Structure 1
């Protein structure tokens, strides 16, 4: 195992250096960067004014990746690891800088999504990739802006905004395991009204995700469908009303016994209404009301778990020259329903007041935020963050930041048969320092970080469950203290006809009390990608490398390290038609990110897209 990790680490280092070296001489603009970033502070900021460690993924990057699921896109992002219990539609986790899956706040068009079940977090498999136009990822504690949950970072997903003439797009494809996809979308604008909508369907015969004794040896496939709409009305020069709606349904098979065909139906829905107003040259407001629903249904046993998050936001911005003052009032209500015994039907609420100050002038940028939340069950909690950046040259920027964070236990963790009502919120304190270079399409960055989390929630079982209300079944407990620390290197650029990017993460996510590596997170992981044009084709390849992981908190079950090679190619068949092909796991690597759960072997996918404009 040590040899595998050392090989992965040395290979990743050399690949990242190779990607970074040519990046310094390029001047072409990068297709990944937009003019503004919203997620870092909930305000529009130019890329140059953002102090936080941010990655932006646009639709072109998503299409070039050839990915089928959202998690596959995130797996290529610096500072992020993923685990999955099988195929695309299986239960998935996203670890930002080694933090727990529940430690990342997730929003879709500003609508919060989360589940109050088990350990909490987002149902990643239910978020449809076909509807996504852009993804903004903020790494580091962000509770001073978003309240509970943002311990490790924030991921916000945006669907497309309509503009210009009516523009339809149809995509269809077929691949290994009888995987099928059909997507239709259209967007445009008429005078002050803009619109965008889409529908998508997919299915796969799947493969046997648990190839072990005692489990059903059948193939575990899925069926999925989704729809979204975004409508906007500029009813006055400085007044815009926007409505968003997204719905998805995933029916996926899984193994939990020798014969039965276990299936889980995941449903996700987001709805939001937002009014943006620019009252004067200095003062603007944003008022939003939204609801996010995460629901799971176990077909065998007819068990249902449902989380509804209702949110009301009032944000104020006031500019005085280079200074920006913000004040945010937010009300959040979470409803949880669980139909299995003991039945749970409970509601909790949080109210928050956040204040922010930003200043950017000359070579200096400052960002300060503070927030106080009042939880209906845990009382008041204050968080804060401070960040500073200085432009050493027009290309080089040095930054440093510190922040506090927290996440309250889920209602399942407190009131289910495994629950303990006296659980405490998890609390975090993080710091980071970064150095970044950017010129044209050339980018290089190194960020060192540390995030200490107290009262970490873990599940006790066996001998450790003696203090649980029901020792025979186990329980949740604030028994651990975690420390997430590491260094992330990233680079992108061009050399000749080749575009290159790479990242390397060297981290140490550990349980301080046990002095053990946290489960399912590697000490080293890396990516390397390259693309070029050959005879009218855009050809791309990427390599994903991971060191060994442990499947258990006690570090007794080892998951070996692995390396994956993926290829994709696309070409324009005509002005309106485009062909894309992809080959994942070229070497047919046998690997696992969760013990006893197989990941997909070599697979092929071929698709065509019709876009008349």
Structure 2
């Protein structure tokens, strides 16, 4: 079977769709004020909610001094193809790169920063890998287990320590409450894709519970197509399919009105096809095998009306293996934290003690098959609200067993100009610790040579927000400088052990690069003639500060526009995602064309218990690449049902 040839879309194919986007959002913004003035009765704001990720404590969204997005279960169930990364790219400031279909290596660039510069949490459990350059395994975080997602953009190391250079993405799994609740989902679609999930949740007295299981199978598509030459018998196009399974369990018990204990377990297994070369050998089926787990236990206590605390312990593991080509690496991260908050008049004092222990198992380490390190941290924050004014100050000290101590801090302030308008500004520092692989592999500094230092970031941003009823508008301008970026370069070859078989590309890891990430992000939403319109636009300039070249695989302009319409039992929606051209490499030697995708969805509520949904993704069957030589999914159709029987 031969896959169709897939080439990059030319920039001109993108120009028309993207050029129209600024005018569309400008129209939305201009209509917001007019729509509000025409109303006599205002509906409650759909974004009037509480978030915890921004400060590690409950805070009303209208008091958060950062660019925040909250994705709910409604947004998650609307997603048919792909995983968490595919969902995030519908939000502002996200750009993703995939080496083929779901299950293959996925990078998520938030505001143009590297994928490892975004901290990923699952119910507070840190998800990371210590192999290679690190970063979370985005491709192995299952959507079926997620109830809610909070995105906080900007430097957040003063709250979370290492990794939170560009922002934080925290996913929350399902939690039980009230009467027993059953839910079943199933679907079938293009590429031989089949999905199914089931969950049960609820509460009985002092005990609450939630259990979810999900599975997905797909024949997939050819991840690395090349121009087919019938005279070249060495090329055999194949299908790179995937299969995944995930499970989660949460149990909570209220000891009394002031004390509650909880345990959480989540597991996800992915087996996906990939091509080790553009022309795989006949009969060879290259496979990625990834197994991720998250375990946690915590005790939350309300000691008085003013004082509360939470004690937690967690462990995350990520095991990655390739077959038949033998490669195995495994990361284990353990964390212990005591987090407390004390109300002091109009303000709140947050205090934190935390310990993190990292362990890497990899056969190419100079320390044997294992390497480890630890970080101890102490942090404090003060949150103050005085009428129309909000202020926050965060400070944290991390001491690393390898490279010493780092102190980070954030200052933020906001002011309400009226009931609808608010301005805010923040500045902060952040860091990313080198991975254990970077420090202790054959490509890391050998004993006696200078150790790798942490990457360090300085971020400043200002924002303007409007919110009234169903109408929102937000503008954020940011500037994030990252120094001592760890790079693999020939100039460091003298710092690492000599290679047994020297190659022309031999090099080692060292603190080298400096990047500057500047950008403007615009997002808005309104209602017009019975339609719900929402969208975002991002102009970003992620550059190497020393060369002035753009960082690879990041579009300088991208945006999205979504339209929703309710018609009785029907919910209809459509979304356009548009991306400008990008360079495939940091030297800007190869350009990948821009592209625009149209995704459509329709949901029909048959009765209170049964809903049917139809998704058409990439409706015009666009061929495009986010990484040179790797195809993205063609047009897909997916039909599903969701059943919630009454108990």
User: How far off its partner does 1:522 sit?
Assistant: 0.9
Which of 11, 14, 37 is the aligned partner of 2:23?
14
Which of 300, 308, 314 is the aligned partner of 1:290?
314
* In structure 2, C-alpha distance between the alignment counterparts of 1:341 and 1:149, rounded to whole Å: 22
Residue in 1 aligned with 2:4? none
Residue in 1 aligned with 2:217? 203
Please give the root-mean-square deviation of Cα atoms over the aligned residues, in Å.
Answer: 1.7
User: How far off its partner does 1:67 sit?
Assistant: 4.5
Q: 1:92-131 alignment to 2 at 5 Å?
A: 92-131=106-145
User: How far off its partner does 1:69 sit?
Assistant: 1.1
User: How far off its partner does 1:64 sit?
Assistant: 2.7
Which of 417, 432, 438 is the aligned partner of 2:467?
438
- Count of residues in correspondence between the two structures: 610
Residue in 2 aligned with 1:88? 102
Q: State the SS of the aligned residue for 1:447.
A: strand
User: How far off its partner does 1:20 sit?
Assistant: 3.0
Asked if 2 retains the 8 angstrom alpha-carbon contact of 1:147 and 1:371, the reply is yes
* In structure 2, C-alpha distance between the alignment counterparts of 1:591 and 1:146, rounded to whole Å: 36
Asked if 2 retains the 8 angstrom alpha-carbon contact of 1:546 and 1:562, the reply is yes
Asked if 1 retains the 8 angstrom alpha-carbon contact of 2:371 and 2:440, the reply is no
Residue in 1 aligned with 2:201? 187
Which of 277, 295, 299 is the aligned partner of 2:323?
299
Q: State the SS of the aligned residue for 1:509.
A: strand
Asked if 2 retains the 8 angstrom alpha-carbon contact of 1:78 and 1:505, the reply is yes
Decide whether aligned partners of structure 1 residues 2 and 180 sit closer, same or farther in structure 2, where only a CA change above 3 A counts: closer
User: How far off its partner does 1:612 sit?
Assistant: 1.7
Instruction: Verify: 1:230 aligned to 2:255, yes or no.
Output: no
Residue in 1 aligned with 2:39? none
Q: 1:81-480 alignment to 2 at 5 Å?
A: 81-212=95-226, 217-257=237-277, 258-259=280-281, 260-340=284-364, 343-420=368-445, 422-460=451-489, 469=496, 470=499, 472=503, 473-480=506-513
Asked if 2 retains the 8 angstrom alpha-carbon contact of 1:303 and 1:340, the reply is no
Asked if 1 retains the 8 angstrom alpha-carbon contact of 2:14 and 2:596, the reply is no
User: How far off its partner does 1:477 sit?
Assistant: 2.5
Asked if 1 retains the 8 angstrom alpha-carbon contact of 2:364 and 2:441, the reply is no
Residue in 2 aligned with 1:55? 69
User: How far off its partner does 1:215 sit?
Assistant: 6.4
Asked if 1 retains the 8 angstrom alpha-carbon contact of 2:48 and 2:62, the reply is no
Instruction: Verify: 1:596 aligned to 2:625, yes or no.
Output: no
Asked if 2 retains the 8 angstrom alpha-carbon contact of 1:268 and 1:293, the reply is yes
User: How far off its partner does 1:468 sit?
Assistant: 6.2
* In structure 1, C-alpha distance between the alignment counterparts of 2:14 and 2:144, rounded to whole Å: 35
Q: State the SS of the aligned residue for 1:307.
A: strand
Instruction: Verify: 1:565 aligned to 2:594, yes or no.
Output: no
Q: State the SS of the aligned residue for 2:438.
A: helix
User: How far off its partner does 1:321 sit?
Assistant: 2.0
Decide whether aligned partners of structure 1 residues 476 and 340 sit closer, same or farther in structure 2, where only a CA change above 3 A counts: closer
* In structure 2, C-alpha distance between the alignment counterparts of 1:118 and 1:222, rounded to whole Å: 23
Decide whether aligned partners of structure 1 residues 270 and 142 sit closer, same or farther in structure 2, where only a CA change above 3 A counts: same
Asked if 1 retains the 8 angstrom alpha-carbon contact of 2:455 and 2:486, the reply is yes
Asked if 1 retains the 8 angstrom alpha-carbon contact of 2:403 and 2:452, the reply is no
- Structure 1: which 5+ runs fail to align? none
Which of 499, 510, 519 is the aligned partner of 2:552?
519
TM-score by length of 1: 0.97
* In structure 2, C-alpha distance between the alignment counterparts of 1:215 and 1:344, rounded to whole Å: 37
User: How far off its partner does 1:535 sit?
Assistant: 5.6
Q: State the SS of the aligned residue for 1:174.
A: strand
Q: Which whole-Å deviations, capped at 9, do the CAs of 1:541-596 have from their partners, x for residues lacking one?
A: 00000011111110101111100000000001222111011000011100000010
Asked if 1 retains the 8 angstrom alpha-carbon contact of 2:399 and 2:405, the reply is yes
* In structure 1, C-alpha distance between the alignment counterparts of 2:554 and 2:623, rounded to whole Å: 18
Q: 1:529-608 alignment to 2 at 5 Å?
A: 529-534=562-567, 536-608=569-641
TM-score by length of 2: 0.92
User: How far off its partner does 1:493 sit?
Assistant: 1.8
* In structure 2, C-alpha distance between the alignment counterparts of 1:326 and 1:419, rounded to whole Å: 38
User: How far off its partner does 1:340 sit?
Assistant: 4.9
- Structure 2: which 5+ runs fail to align? 1-9, 37-41, 228-233
* In structure 1, C-alpha distance between the alignment counterparts of 2:253 and 2:43, rounded to whole Å: 35
Asked if 2 retains the 8 angstrom alpha-carbon contact of 1:284 and 1:317, the reply is yes
* In structure 1, C-alpha distance between the alignment counterparts of 2:236 and 2:11, rounded to whole Å: 34
* In structure 2, C-alpha distance between the alignment counterparts of 1:590 and 1:6, rounded to whole Å: 16
User: How far off its partner does 1:89 sit?
Assistant: 1.7
| Range moving further from structure 2, 380-389 or 33-42 | 33-42
Asked if 2 retains the 8 angstrom alpha-carbon contact of 1:215 and 1:255, the reply is no
Q: Which whole-Å deviations, capped at 9, do the CAs of 1:143-163 have from their partners, x for residues lacking one?
A: 000001100000100011101
Decide whether aligned partners of structure 1 residues 215 and 408 sit closer, same or farther in structure 2, where only a CA change above 3 A counts: farther
User: How far off its partner does 1:10 sit?
Assistant: 2.2
Q: Which whole-Å deviations, capped at 9, do the CAs of 1:68-109 have from their partners, x for residues lacking one?
A: 411111011101111111112211111111111000111100
Decide whether aligned partners of structure 1 residues 341 and 366 sit closer, same or farther in structure 2, where only a CA change above 3 A counts: closer
Asked if 2 retains the 8 angstrom alpha-carbon contact of 1:371 and 1:382, the reply is yes
Asked if 1 retains the 8 angstrom alpha-carbon contact of 2:556 and 2:580, the reply is yes
